[in-house]
Structure 1
Amino acid sequence: MSPSNTAIAIRDVSKVYQIYSRPEDRLKQALFRHRRRYFREFWALRGVSFDIERGSTVGIVGHNGSGKSTLLQIICRTLRPSAGLVEVNGRVSALLELGSGFNPDFSGRENVYLNSAILGLDRAETDRLFDEIAAFADIGPHLDQPTKTYSTGMVMRLAFAVAISVNPDILVVDEALAVGDEAFQRRCMARIEAIKKKGATILFVSHSANQIVELCDRAILLDHGELLYDGPPRRAINFYHRLLYTPADRRGPFRDALLAARRGEAALPDETAAARSQAAEAEADAALEEHYNPGLVPKSTTVYETRGARILDVQVTTQEGRRVNVLVSGRRYTIRYRVKVESDVWGVAVGTRIKTITGVELGGATTQHTDRMLDHIEAGTVLNVTHSFECRLMEGTYFLNTGISAVIDGERQWLNRLVDVAMFMVMPAPGRCSNGPVDFLFDSRAQPVALG
């Protein structure tokens, strides 16, 4: 590839941070710099190298903490690398953090001009683009209010509208599309497609496999600051999911195999003759067996006030009763929990709901309006509740809501309700090609018909 056709060149880039256990250790380090170390090193990036061709769209995938955002900040020159060289050719428009560059005391209108100036536009250019920016953000009269009064979604709308209106040579987007309603996300995707058709280079970070596959020409997989794979998006997503869902004791060898292939010391794990054999396929299936990850704990749990009952120990199990929170699409599971009833109640119903990471409710189950509703429960009773289901969800992260209700003073009321009480991940099932969060098990065919 000729240098004139290179939009971004990354050469052996590393970023290391000094982590101090106590504030006073910083002073000690300054005083005794060459005699003792009072910090530990954290490598956010280590020896990353790649080129991005002009006009290409490249996705970056990896788990949280893999180095994606650090890499983008270095490319955008808001962060300096500890080692290595970075060459960026062209005007960069970046959407790294919501509202970065916004003054909270300025109005939205004033921040449009401030952000445009940061991106290299003069006053006349911003005047010409202002109506387009305002129309895309679509925040109405709030445009003349201080941005500190904005919701997160409104800030995102305005920041994105400015970033994509400067006709960048290079557009950098870091998970910005995770915020906003469906209509706005669709407008954003359409605008990114339009920018792509104009020949701009796009660097795109997303946890959405569909977005990476649909938008990108290639994808880069980062893990613990190291580049493991650079190639076709579908294969990058496949390796990412295998790293994400494989049990911890099997993750290391797979990661080492990817690194060895990256260094040219071996073939990719799925390209060797052994990987194509039935024995290797069986081993791969075993590696993706459902399991329990103790670190998969929601941080958004909400417990509503109890009124005579408490829901305890919500979990997902296999049909054999083994606790899991990493599931395989297409298999059956059971949501289980106990309810301790603390007072006499009548007309008791229990239920559960499954929702996406963005809060969209996909469905659930309840014993209300069925013959399984309980007429009367005495104080001191413990209920064992089960909801069995076939997992038709596609790969992704999901949350559970649970609740118990009863008829009090002639009205149905909650006795206890837990929101985001548990979370689970779903691994992709081999041979499935559905899009979206749910696999409806369509039988899709295309058959030629003879003419005449």
Structure 2
Amino acid sequence: MQFVLPRLQSVIGQKPRCYFREFWALKDVSLEIKKGETVGIIGRNGSGKSTLLQMICGTLNPTFGKVQTNGRVAALLELGSGFNPEFTGRENVYLNAAILGLSQDEIKARFDEITAFADIGDFLEQPVKSYSSGMVVRLAFAVQAMVDPDILVVDEALAVGDEKFQRKCFARLEQLKARGASILFVSHSAPTVIELCDRAFLLDSGVRLLHGKPSDVVRAYQKLLYAPTEEHRQLIQDYCAVDEAGEVARSDSVAENDLEPAKGALASFDPGLVPETTTVYPVQGAEILSIAILDQESRIVNVLHPNEAYQVQMTGRFLKDFSGVYFGVHIRSISGAVITGQRHPEEGSHIENVRAGTSFRIRFSFRMALFTGAYFIGAGIWSTEDPNCAHRIIDALMFRLSHTDKSGSFGYVDLMSSEPSLEWAEA
């Protein structure tokens, strides 16, 4: 219709009509991924993430512009993409590896390694159509990751599978990264993007909004995700302006606390510990008025001592009636990874019939079994109703663990219960 009728209308002197609505899955999106770099791509459903990855892999061609890749590209875009459901797992390994450019001799040399990684047992000789979704992704990831690609593209596939297999996948990604492979990673898991990636890009409605440090981009994405309609457009404009400037803007600071900080010679409060990454979500029916860390004497502190007990206090008020309410607080590392968190009531339970005008004060207790370093605290109010995020503040507070004596532990958390016991035996 669009091909014929407008031409006929022009011939008879009428204004040609448009019988279609123009839609761009991606528009003016430009990015460059360096060798050995791991890049996260985040955004809401329909933002163009999967389309971008398919163009990078060559399964889609751009209408305008170009995509240039150097080296062997392996992709895990959809469960079992590239698998023939009628073929056995063994046959699909050979088929998929051949598509990736491996010769028969190369496939034979790596076959045992691939099947050992997939670990699907006798199902290797069964048709793929009889596999569970978890088994399909295990085999698909094993083939793609074990061929040593120069570029590995992963689109949400690692969300499938048990914890042991997911850890094995991430360990393999770390190996590929150490060997110089470039990894493009799409995920809705913010901690995974922050921990795994060197940089992150935020897409929305086919447009690149922001790029930079994963922790900064994730915070911006979360704020956009929960923003009311009237604030959404303004956030997009702000992010695009920031993206052109090449850095992620910092958000508003949290409201003043209603308690006094600790004072005196033995005080454990450092006024210089102020986070620059505080992100305040829109108020949507409830408002957090203050967040503070309290010691045993109910003083505000931010220089804490290892293995001592502290409380994180949050106060606020409800501006509308809510049901299905629960509160949460979390502690993040400098990289943005969630170290630990608590919610009240416990998982599966909620607080019903909270009335507008109700104020609250809630305290979460923590034993700081952390190592020396800086950490960040955020908190929020959620509901099973809409909007489900009534209010949230990320990186509301920054605190530091004071110096500890020499320890045999390392990482974030000290779980040592006693000194290691060593025994020697003569050879």
TM-score bracket relative to the smaller structure: 0.5 to 0.7
- Whether the aligned pair in 2 keeps the contact of 1:61 and 1:221 (CA below 8 Å) is yes
Q: Normalising by structure 2, what TM-score?
A: 0.65
Percent identical residues = 47
Name the residue aligned to 2:243.
262
Q: Which residue of 1 aligns with 2:267?
A: none
Q: Aligned partners of 2:204, 2:210: CA distance in 1, in Å?
A: 10
Q: Indicate the residue corresponding to 2:197 in structure 1.
A: 216
Aligned partner of 2:142 in structure 1 is 161
Secondary structure class of the residue paired with 2:148? coil
TM-score (norm 1): 0.61
List alignment gaps of at least 5 residues for structure 2: 8-15, 257-274, 287-316, 331-345, 365-376, 408-427
CA deviation digits over 1:385-441, x for unaligned, max 9? 669997989899x997xxxxxxxxxxxxxxxxxxxx99945875333699xxxxxxx
Secondary structure (helix, strand or coil) at the match of 2:22 reads strand
Aligned to 1:228: 209
Of residues 9, 15, 18 in structure 2, which corresponds to 1:37? 18
Is the Cα contact below 8 Å between 1:325 and 1:424 reproduced in 2? no
Select the structure that is richer in strand: 1
Alpha-carbon distance in structure 1 between the residues aligned to 2:391 and 2:96: 41
State the partner residue of 2:393.
429
CA distance in 1, matches of 2:236, 2:379: 20
- Aligned partner (choices 55, 60, 85) of residue 36 of structure 2: 55
The answer on whether the counterparts of 2:281 and 2:391 sit within 8 Å (CA) in structure 1 is: no
Selected match of 2:75 from 68, 89, 94: 94
Deviation for aligned residue 1:262: 2.5
- Matched with 2:266 is none
Q: Does 1:71 align with 2:52?
A: yes
Match of 2:300 in 1: none
Q: Which residue of 2 aligns with 1:143?
A: 124
Cα deviations across residues 260-302 of structure 1 (Å, max 9, x unaligned)?
22334x975428xxx57989x9xx977522459xxxxxxxxxx
Supply the distance in 1 between the matched residues of 2:133 and 2:319 (Cα, whole angstroms). 44
- Helix, strand or coil for the counterpart of 2:27? strand
Q: 1:365 to 1:72 in 2, by over 3 A?
A: closer
> Can you list the C-alpha shifts for 1:135-182, whole angstroms capped at 9, x where unaligned?
111111111111111111111111000000110000110111111111
Measured against aligned partners, the alpha-carbon deviations of 1:36-89 in whole angstroms (never above 9, x if no partner) come to 322112211110112111111111111111110000000101001111121111
Distance 1:395 1:143 in 2: 47
Confirm or deny that 1:363 pairs with 2:319.
no
CA–CA separation in structure 2 for the residues paired with 1:197 and 1:426: 42
The match for 1:445 among 401, 404, 408 is 401
The answer to whether the Cα contact below 8 Å between 2:48 and 2:205 also exists between their aligned partners in 1 is yes
- Superposition map of 1:402-421 within 5 A: none
| Distance in structure 1 (CA, Å) of the matches to 2:204 and 2:33 | 19
1:50-449 to 2 correspondence within 5 Å?
50-264=31-245, 268-270=248-250, 287-291=281-285, 322-323=321-322, 329-330=328-329, 363-365=347-349, 424=388, 429-431=393-395, 445-449=401-405
State the Cα distance separating 1:99 from its structure 2 match: 0.5
The letter for the 2-side match of 1:363 is E
- Answer whether contact 1:105 1:147 (CA < 8 A) is retained: yes
- Aligned residue pairs: how many? 317
Structure 1 Cα separation of the partners of residues 254 and 397 of structure 2:
22
Runs of 5+ consecutive residues of structure 1 not aligned to the other structure: 1-27, 293-317, 332-361, 367-383, 401-420, 435-442
| Structure 1 residue identity aligned to 2:250 | D
Q: Which amino acid aligns with 1:211?
A: T
The residue type paired with residue 172 of structure 2 is R
Which residue type is aligned with residue 153 of structure 2?
V
